[in-house]
Structure 1
Amino acid sequence: MVWGQDNQLNVTVSRAGFWDHRGGRPFGATTNFKTVKRLLEAGQQDSLKLIFKNEKQEGLPNRPYQLGGGRLELHFPKGFVLQTGELNLQTGKLEVVIQLPDGSLRTIDIGQAVPDEVAWIKMEEALLAKVEIKLVASYDHPKVRKELAEIGVAPPTRFSDAAQSVAGFTQSLPADAPLSVAYQKNKDHLVLQTVLGEQPEPALIASFRSVDLKALDKQSTAWWTNFSKDLPKVTIPDPKLQEAYDYGLYKMGCVHPPHGVAATLQGPFMETQRIPPWSNDYHFNINIEMIYWPVLASGKYEHLDPLWAMLEEWMPTLEAADQYFYENDKALLMPHAVDNRGHVVGNFWTGMIDQACAAWMAQLAWLQYQHTLDEQLLAEVAFPLMQGTFEGYYAMTEKTADGTLSLPVSVSPEFKGARPDAWGRNASFQLAAYKMTAKNLIEASALLNQPMDERWTEVLEKLPDYAIIEGPGSQEHPEYVNQRIALWEGMDLVESHRHHSHLAGIYPFQSFDPFDEKHATIVRHSINQWIAEGAGRWSGWCVPWAAALHARLGNPDGAISWLHYWEENYTNLGRGTLHDANYKGLSLIKPGIGPDIRPDASKPMDWNNVEFMAPHNEVMQLDGGFGVLDALHNLFFQQRDSVLHILPYLPVRWRDFEFEGLHTAGGFVIAGQVKNGQVERIEIESKFGKPLVVQTPFLNGCQVDGVAQDSALLKLEMSAGEVVLVRRL
């Protein structure tokens, strides 16, 4: 991260994967689902707390965490003023302009190697000679120092060479590999390096001699050029969302490149002045999935490779623990918050029994298969994940007296936190994930010539689609009663909440058709109530999810409005995407404005520093920014079961826009153009020569490669490499 003001330029240096693993707990044989169910149903909350208890021990952290590295500060003389910074999204290079006291301008070029852990800062020799350089370790910040010292982390050791041209530090950890950060000053450039792992200081200093900047620059430029050349291209009449889209695609190359580690909540963008929120861990109850969703439509499937490789490493440990938990040697449970070893972070018991965390991963792998038709991926990753997810769900299932199936103990993500009443029968979120998994297994088993399991059909036929609650649709007019989707049986959406989980059957799980007569009325009442409850308890990442739901339900302008709300309130000056609202008065996840109880209320109020407000630190997370890309993709196309819908609903406010290079299930690449509020053309390219059923927006008929068609629903037989042009009549 590069930032600064006036005469100081800062480069924040972090290294994804710098973990202190202490405090993590393998999801081991401490209990099983039957015990959890018995304790919950008996109201024995104290016993339940003991099972999931994770007491903090003196001198040790109570959870694993990642730690930032440091910050390189470049202090220019007084009178020098930073002017602009411009990032080239195609090459990954940054150009900073600084003004000298005489009014002249100079440029500072900043680049980073790919995949080497090397960066460089170039400027004129005379300019660099005037710079005072400081390398600040994260440990140097008082708050971080205090927290780390309390858990046994020693200060970093400093090193330099005899000429003082190389300087750096090594931050050691009590039980994990150290991180070294160092720079070398040359005549007209600085070289910055990180090294994770044990390495003698002389070797670290000597490693700068082997740095070939020309070769690294060429290699980096080639990588970014290759990454950028086949990205989707979207042109919309909306500068703010256009920038969010383009910058989001660029950040995919930063956050989860195929040569990197699997992405976490903050990825490599860790600040130095504090330990990252939520340990910068893996949250599998939507956040990690949202970070990876744009990989599919952009066609960058190789970006998922590090994620699947990490899960493969975890599997032996997870399977052993899950077999005990479910008493089923085929079941798979994935706790909702873990470190990079799959060890549990914290003691959030509802997250520990959230079986949908496994379903999220299974769906992501299945969607990748649908896009790539990679049978090895299907057989070795997607199908086993789906099987394990299903077996876990089935172990939780009860057959009721009327022959239907039920989930007697289930949770809706983070609703009521870890309270003893944070559960109920048939949580709609879990029902949707369960039925989605069963549905996908039926299709996958046929593709792999695997035997059909009758339980999959049983679940689809006998498990409810969602829990239903009946009650007033408005407290103002309680006489108007309707039915709507409940969080679980008997639990209404009683207030605004960041997880739209009871609506996950609409999107992204698509376990039922919201337009079907069976569901349409209940869905309408559910959405109306959801809108009425508002965004007062929303976080940043859930706003794009809301936009995607609006896009799926035929409200494209509502989707765009929510995306603008996100951009205005959940991004910072550096375009960081935030978990908490950027301003007070919007969401209670950001402390709201309370009464002015100062002794002297006549003095001007500093709204960011008042005693009656809780202190608040900005929380950056990657999920929201990538969720915006997914929401925009849902405006351009939607896959609904076996039918591809292209431009299903046109926003009124976007009269002219176009896109190309968007990838869909079945191996198709699509483009579209809208002029003056009408769809002008659609192009469909087939990569694999598979048949396609596509719903076009041309309700009065269309022409396919010049041949008139009287239906908007097309059934196309295409050969590999063929491109079809669809226009209105």
Structure 2
Amino acid sequence: MKSRRTDKLKEELNWSEFLARHDMSWTTRPMTWDEGAFIGNGLMGAMMYGEEHRLKRNVLRFVLGRTDITAKRPTEGYSPRVPIGEIDLECEGWIYQPTTIRVDLWNAEIQAHVVTTKGEIRLRAFIHSDKPVLVIELEPSEGERNVKLQWYAVPEVDPILKNADGINLNQYIPNIVLDRSIVGNIRVGVQRYDMGDGCTTAWEEQEGPGSRRIAYLTVQPGANEAAAASAVQLVQASVAEGLDTLEQSHRRWWHAYYPQSFVSLPDTRLEGFYWIQMYKLASATRKEHHIIDNQGPWMAPTPWPGVWFNMNVQMSYSPVYTSNRLELGESLIRALDSNRDNLIGNVPEALRHDSAGLGRSCSYDLQSPVDDETGNLLWICHNYWRQYRHTMDETMLREGLLPLLRRAVQYHIHLLEEGEDGRLHLPPTVSPEYGSFKKMTVADCHYDLALLRWGCETLLRIHDRLPLQDPLAGRWTQVLERLTPYPENTHGLMLGKDAPIEFGHRHFSHLLAVFPLHLLTGERQEEKELIHKSLRYWTGMEGDMRGFTFTGAASIAASIGLGDEALQYIRSFLHLIKPNTMYREAGPVMESPLACAESIQDLLLQSWGDKIRVFPAMPGEWKEAVFHDLRAEGAFLVSASRKEGRTAFVRVKSLAGEPCRLQTDWSLNEGETVLAASEHPVSVLDLGEGVLELELKQGEEVILYVSGAGTQLQDDKAEGSFRIAPVEAQPGLCNYFGAHKPWRLYGIPFREERK
């Protein structure tokens, strides 16, 4: 194949301008958590919204959360998350129109023009990118010169406001004793819980020029002198550093974060949703902080104040890998590595010599004994595997994933029983989320069979790569040869042996072999028909469908190339999210919107198996799309542009020198050929049917494109089009999220917003 020298891609990206078209916006104040303006730094968060009750129409609340504030119980059970309290903007007048609020994504801050019946207030707020410090800047007019910022601990929050969030009947809240004090100019509030733990809040308000005021607030775990001293010192340091310096370092982190990859879609609403999830991800976790739990740092009344492992954590991290934001995934890896002993302790004592497991829910220490839902640790190991495959870090593989996966597989091998058919079978276990209230279990549960098969196959891959001489390798091979097939019937894949889906099933646990494990790929027509039949039967039952039902369905459809159907599932999901892109069922949960970001990625790039698939499931209506530096398994950065319904070019950069096989939509017309543009000679072998095999050394990259035969002009024209630039936006769908704006989907005229 012809290869030629060329310049690298030309990025025509004004990040500030691009993200501004997706800033969340409000033209009246938000009234609930469902539509609040949120900020966070992966540890500490705040959600800003108001209240319609006549006694509280003057209030804008900053409801605080911090992921490591938990409370020990006096009885058995994990230590759950607990609320902290809030700092409220208490105006002189009622908050009125034309109040406007915006979450500036590029700068990760809230900007507001608050109009009241007495005056107005200019407001700005951010939580510093790497310090647990909330900064609120106010500039009131004369009529609002007495506006106050007041901090309230949990016991002090007015019942009107507390009950507006929902009466909490499920969540454990400890008895709280509050001590207030003043250290110099800093006010301190210590909340002590029943069992001796608690949290400490410290804040100071500074006068600026004119009517300007700036508040600095932090929350620290602990209710002792050390915690109070730490909180006071952090506020003092922040005040000394000053707003301008804090703002610069805060913005520097975010301005480096966003350009790690780029995605632009012809559906502006969906593009905006995607970028808000990228903002949400980095607001919810960082490599040095805790796992993303069901809440994120935005605490609200919930029956799930902890970490759930039969879907939630796995799906919350799912968009990290392809989006090339692997640092965020390190929080999960660090938790698994540092809590290895607890994972071992989760299985019966007789099995702890070689096994480990993970139950359904727990706190951040991962202490959760395995009951009859047995596959959760193996699924988490799949996330670990994805982290490895996108980095190709062999230290991570050898020292982290391998010993954990080996133990997770061994636990399941202990459960296997030989049947009369000579096959290996699993005893009755739970298929997550099906018949939960009935505590239903099924033999040969698809969830566990698929995870065990994936685990054995992956251990053998690791065994060959490192290479190893593990004495258990023969057993893993034997399990793969003798493990019973996935149960299926005329409707497709079943929950387990003699267990068809008889009523609505919100989880895709019975389809795990398809997604995310990709053990069933649909590359054979017969298998594709099985997958599609299973998908349609599952979604066609309708009952108990939740957000993650549609995100799972979208990714399954995308995995077999059904872009139009995948887009239908994604758009159906958008009906279930809240105006600010948050999601709740009986309480707030994080995973579904983040999982939908992966579903969008699956339309653009997939890299499971032995191929990188570029635009593998594009909806027919999407004639244009572009992405830059999305990351594929094997540690490749991939960029591509789609024009007039066809891939215009693909850029592949190898970060690890791994073998590379690329699947494109290039069915060549007569006179066309695929050209390779690179700074170094690159071998490109055309295997037919759009599959190309590349030989790239570590650090090398190549741009591939289709050209007509013969002329230099055509080649130069193709080369000149290697541009990464946003798809033109649909103006009516810019700044769609924040307040509820469904009318924008139907062409009702509105005044276009200006930043």
TM-score, normalising length from structure 2?
Answer: 0.78
Q: Paired residue for 1:324?
A: 349
Superposition deviation, residue 242 in structure 1: 1.0
1:139–1:148 contact (8 Å) kept in structure 2: no
Q: Paired residue for 1:225?
A: 255
Aligned AA (2:545)? W
Q: Paired residue for 2:49?
A: 3
Superposition deviation, residue 4 in structure 1: 2.8
Cα distance in 1 between the residues matched to 2:399 and 2:686: 42
Q: Paired residue for 1:565?
A: 572
Superposition deviation, residue 79 in structure 1: 5.8
Q: Paired residue for 1:604?
A: none
Q: Paired residue for 1:22?
A: 73
- Aligned pair 1:291/2:309, yes or no? no
Cα–Cα, structure 1 residues 388 and 518, in superposed 2: closer, same or farther, change >3 Å? farther
Aligned AA (1:407)? L
- Aligned pair 1:670/2:638, yes or no? yes
Cα–Cα, structure 1 residues 435 and 240, in superposed 2: closer, same or farther, change >3 Å? same
- Which of 431, 446, 463 aligns to 1:445? It is 463
- Which of 363, 367, 376 aligns to 1:357? It is 376
Q: Paired residue for 2:397?
A: 378
- Which of 361, 364, 367 aligns to 1:343? It is 367
Q: Paired residue for 1:251?
A: 280
Q: Paired residue for 2:734?
A: none
Name the stretch that deviates more: 198-207 or 514-523.
198-207
- Which of 388, 401, 404 aligns to 2:407? It is 388
Cα distance in 2 between the residues matched to 1:411 and 1:705: 51
Superposition deviation, residue 80 in structure 1: 5.2
Q: Match of 2:637, SS?
A: strand
Superposition deviation, residue 65 in structure 1: 1.4
- Aligned pair 1:312/2:337, yes or no? yes
Aligned AA (2:265)? I
- Which of 694, 713, 716 aligns to 1:716? It is 694
1:332–1:388 contact (8 Å) kept in structure 2: yes
Q: Paired residue for 1:682?
A: 650
Superposition deviation, residue 727 in structure 1: 1.9
1:359–1:386 contact (8 Å) kept in structure 2: yes
Q: Paired residue for 1:416?
A: 435
Cα–Cα, structure 1 residues 95 and 8, in superposed 2: closer, same or farther, change >3 Å? same
1:236–1:242 contact (8 Å) kept in structure 2: yes
Name the stretch that deviates more: 211-220 or 403-412.
211-220
Aligned AA (1:651)? P
Cα distance in 2 between the residues matched to 1:666 and 1:465: 29
Cα distance in 2 between the residues matched to 1:703 and 1:563: 33
2:444–2:496 contact (8 Å) kept in structure 1: yes
Q: Paired residue for 1:210?
A: 237
Cα distance in 1 between the residues matched to 2:170 and 2:696: 64
Q: Paired residue for 2:223?
A: 198
Superposition deviation, residue 725 in structure 1: 1.6
Superposition deviation, residue 313 in structure 1: 3.2
- Aligned pair 1:548/2:555, yes or no? yes
Aligned AA (1:3)? Y
Q: Paired residue for 1:180?
A: 200
Name the stretch that deviates more: 151-160 or 241-250.
151-160
Q: Paired residue for 2:419?
A: 400
Aligned-residue identity in percent: 20
Superposition deviation, residue 168 in structure 1: 4.6
Cα distance in 2 between the residues matched to 1:652 and 1:634: 15
The superposition leaves residues 122-173 of structure 1 with CA deviations (integer Å, 9 ceiling, x where unpaired) of 122656742133323333455799979997933341424389x644532212
Cα–Cα, structure 1 residues 330 and 97, in superposed 2: closer, same or farther, change >3 Å? same
Q: Match of 1:154, SS?
A: coil
Cα distance in 2 between the residues matched to 1:301 and 1:176: 37
Cα distance in 1 between the residues matched to 2:662 and 2:171: 60
Cα distance in 2 between the residues matched to 1:317 and 1:628: 31
1:289–1:364 contact (8 Å) kept in structure 2: yes
1:137–1:169 contact (8 Å) kept in structure 2: yes
Cα distance in 2 between the residues matched to 1:62 and 1:402: 42
The superposition leaves residues 331-381 of structure 1 with CA deviations (integer Å, 9 ceiling, x where unpaired) of 111112111222339xxxxx7232211111211111111111111100111
Superposition deviation, residue 404 in structure 1: 1.6
Listed as ranges, the matches of 1:654-665 within 5 Å are 654-665=622-633
2:322–2:630 contact (8 Å) kept in structure 1: yes
- Aligned pair 1:113/2:132, yes or no? no
Aligned AA (1:308)? I
Cα distance in 2 between the residues matched to 1:686 and 1:158: 57
Unaligned runs of 5+ residues in structure 1 are: 24-59, 346-350, 470-481, 581-616
Cα distance in 2 between the residues matched to 1:176 and 1:227: 38
Aligned AA (1:124)? E
Q: Match of 1:505, SS?
A: coil
Cα distance in 2 between the residues matched to 1:263 and 1:528: 31
Cα distance in 2 between the residues matched to 1:376 and 1:217: 37
2:70–2:198 contact (8 Å) kept in structure 1: no
Aligned AA (1:19)? T
Q: Match of 1:296, SS?
A: coil
- Which of 553, 563, 576 aligns to 2:582? It is 576
Unaligned runs of 5+ residues in structure 2 are: 1-46, 52-56, 208-212, 678-683, 708-755
Q: Match of 1:440, SS?
A: helix
- Aligned pair 1:278/2:278, yes or no? no
Q: Paired residue for 2:6?
A: none
The superposition leaves residues 582-638 of structure 1 with CA deviations (integer Å, 9 ceiling, x where unpaired) of xxxxxxxxxxxxxxxxxxxxxxxxxxxxxxxxxxx6x22110111011101110122
Cα distance in 2 between the residues matched to 1:553 and 1:176: 54
Superposition deviation, residue 521 in structure 1: 4.1
1:355–1:389 contact (8 Å) kept in structure 2: no
Name the stretch that deviates more: 555-564 or 487-496.
555-564
1:80–1:99 contact (8 Å) kept in structure 2: yes
Name the stretch that deviates more: 202-211 or 234-243.
202-211
Cα–Cα, structure 1 residues 413 and 228, in superposed 2: closer, same or farther, change >3 Å? same
Superposition deviation, residue 253 in structure 1: 1.1
- Aligned pair 1:698/2:675, yes or no? no
Aligned AA (2:522)? P
1:158–1:167 contact (8 Å) kept in structure 2: no
Name the stretch that deviates more: 707-716 or 242-251.
707-716
Q: Paired residue for 2:358?
A: 334
Name the stretch that deviates more: 328-337 or 196-205.
196-205
Cα–Cα, structure 1 residues 563 and 148, in superposed 2: closer, same or farther, change >3 Å? closer
Q: Match of 2:135, SS?
A: strand
TM-score, normalising length from structure 1?
Answer: 0.80
Aligned AA (2:702)? V
Cα distance in 1 between the residues matched to 2:353 and 2:687: 54
The superposition leaves residues 529-560 of structure 1 with CA deviations (integer Å, 9 ceiling, x where unpaired) of 113212x3022233211111111122212221
- Aligned pair 1:77/2:92, yes or no? yes
Cα–Cα, structure 1 residues 175 and 307, in superposed 2: closer, same or farther, change >3 Å? farther
Listed as ranges, the matches of 1:462-501 within 5 Å are 462-469=482-489, 482=490, 484-501=492-509
The superposition leaves residues 508-542 of structure 1 with CA deviations (integer Å, 9 ceiling, x where unpaired) of 011223332563443343223113212x3022233
Superposition deviation, residue 84 in structure 1: 1.8
Cα distance in 2 between the residues matched to 1:662 and 1:137: 43
2:583–2:592 contact (8 Å) kept in structure 1: yes
Higher relative contact order (CA 8 A, sep 6+): 2
Q: Match of 1:698, SS?
A: coil
2:203–2:215 contact (8 Å) kept in structure 1: yes
